């Protein structure tokens, strides 16, 4: 059973194995800290099956400047980038490729990758003819040649955070009560990166790498005794309480509008919760686009989501905004996207956003 093309997987396997032939130094996996990126990092580490460094690029800013400094300062036999829009960081990739081979799997909207030549393999499923943005964790899972229920349960968590569960019918052997527990762990992993600013890896990937195996996949009873699980659970509760309070306030404001054509609202929080709020609201307003913005750490962030029956291409909309206003970062998928900017540029961007959503 395959979802990605076999020649794509073979190309990736061959490139990674060739890069590691006879290498005395170990590879590094650079991953996005959400559920998809963490689970993809886990699968790639399992596939490599040797000492491997892990590096979490600080999000939501995608601090590639800090990452480049860290990566250039050390010697690795292979650089792997997962679930990050590195196609607009060509100079960094080209510099790294002079030190060692670079492998990239990214399922976001790509720009111009023509300069990715030399010892670089760039795989983006959107370049394939079916134009499906297969999550990075699904790619990592497919890369494994031996996979059982344990790996499938990790994939289940990753696809839950990417809203992909209804697109794949492969989880019948996971009991319903366990699915609910896996969803909770997935939420904990996915939300954790919103409040942490750790320099390399964080508790999410530590938890995944330490998961207790049982005869029936993940041993959930032993999992709940893990220190990493307790830490993630406490962080998750903090986030959930703040999110519930914000959702209540914003929902009361929206109720005053009889038939909103779109939702554009500001929130205030010491945590960057605009994405979680936007994601929650899209389930309640299925026919419109939702934009939630906030100021956080002296930057302005706007998270875009669309309801189930809304057809606005949010990635293209952010691209349009970026062509008219200088953004710090911006991109995503048709159904979920985001952008950040300095104050003046951000409010110009909001004006363009409003004009197009109307």
* Exposed/middle/buried for residue 14 (C-beta within 10 Å: 0-12, 13-18, 19+): exposed
C-alpha 52 chain-centroid distance: 20
Question: What stretches in the chain show pLDDT beneath 50?
Answer: none
Query: Do the beta carbons of residue 191 and residue 40 sit within 8 Å?
Result: no
How many Cα atoms sit within 13 Å of 113 on the Cβ side?
A: 18
Chain-centre distance for alpha carbon 336: 11
* Whole-number pLDDT of residue 58: 67
pLDDT on residue 348: 96
* pLDDT one-digit tens code per residue, 137-155: 999 999 999 999 999 999 9
pLDDT of residue 198: 56
Fold of the CATH domain 257-357: Diaminopimelate Epimerase; Chain A, domain 1 (3.10.310)
Q: Write the CATH number of the domain with boundaries 6-226.
A: 3.90.1640
Kindly report the length of the chain. Answer: 358
Per-residue pLDDT tens digits for 73-99 = 988 999 999 988 888 788 999 999 999
Q: Where are the beta strands (DSSP E) in the chain?
A: 28-31, 53-56, 79-82, 102-105, 120-123, 213-214, 217-218, 263-266, 289-296, 299-306, 329-332, 336-341
pLDDT at 102: 96
- Look at residue 293 in the predicted model and tell me its pLDDT: 96
* pLDDT score recorded for residue 200: 54
What was the pLDDT predicted at 296? 84
Domain boundaries, the chain: 6-226, 257-357
């Amino acid at each position: 059973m395959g979802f990605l093309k076999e020649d794509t997987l073979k190309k990736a396997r061959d490139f990674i194995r060739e890069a590691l032939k006879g290498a005395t130094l170990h590879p590094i996996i650079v991953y996005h800290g959400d559920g998809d990126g963490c689970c993809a990092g886990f699968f790639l580490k399992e596939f490599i099956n040797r000492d491997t460094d892990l590096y979490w690029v600080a999000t939501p800013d995608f601090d590639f400047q800090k990452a480049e400094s860290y990566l250039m300062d050390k010697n690795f036999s292979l650089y792997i980038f997962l679930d990050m829009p590195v196609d607009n960081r060509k100079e960094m990739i080209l510099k790294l490729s002079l030190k060692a081979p670079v492998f990239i799997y990214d399922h976001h909207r790509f720009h111009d990758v023509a300069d990715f030549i030399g010892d670089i393999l760039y795989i983006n499923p959107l370049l394939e003819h079916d134009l499906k943005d297969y999550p990075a964790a699904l790619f990592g899972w497919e890369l494994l040649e031996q996979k059982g229920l344990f790996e499938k349960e990790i994939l289940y968590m990753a696809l839950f955070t990417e809203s992909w569960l209804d697109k794949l019918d492969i989880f019948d052997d996971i009991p319903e009560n366990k699915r609910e527990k896996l969803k909770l762990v997935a939420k904990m992993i996915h939300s954790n990166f919103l409040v942490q600013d750790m320099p390399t890896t964080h508790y999410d990937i530590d938890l995944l790498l330490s998961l207790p195996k049982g005869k029936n996949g993940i041993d959930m009873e032993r999992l709940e005794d893990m220190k990493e699980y307790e830490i993630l659970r406490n962080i998750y509760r903090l986030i959930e309480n703040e999110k519930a309070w914000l959702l209540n306030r914003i929902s009361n404001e929206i109720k005053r509008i009889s038939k909103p054509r779109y939702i554009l609202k500001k929130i205030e929080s010491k945590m960057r919760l605009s994405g979680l709020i936007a994601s929650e609201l899209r389930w309640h307003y299925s026919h419109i686009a939702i934009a939630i913005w906030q100021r956080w750490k002296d930057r302005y962030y706007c998270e875009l989501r669309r309801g189930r029956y809304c057809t606005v291409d949010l990635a293209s909309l952010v691209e349009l905004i970026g062509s008219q206003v200088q953004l710090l970062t911006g991109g995503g998928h048709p159904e979920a996207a985001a952008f950040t900017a300095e104050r003046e540029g951000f409010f110009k961007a909001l004006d363009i956003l409003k004009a197009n959503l109307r």
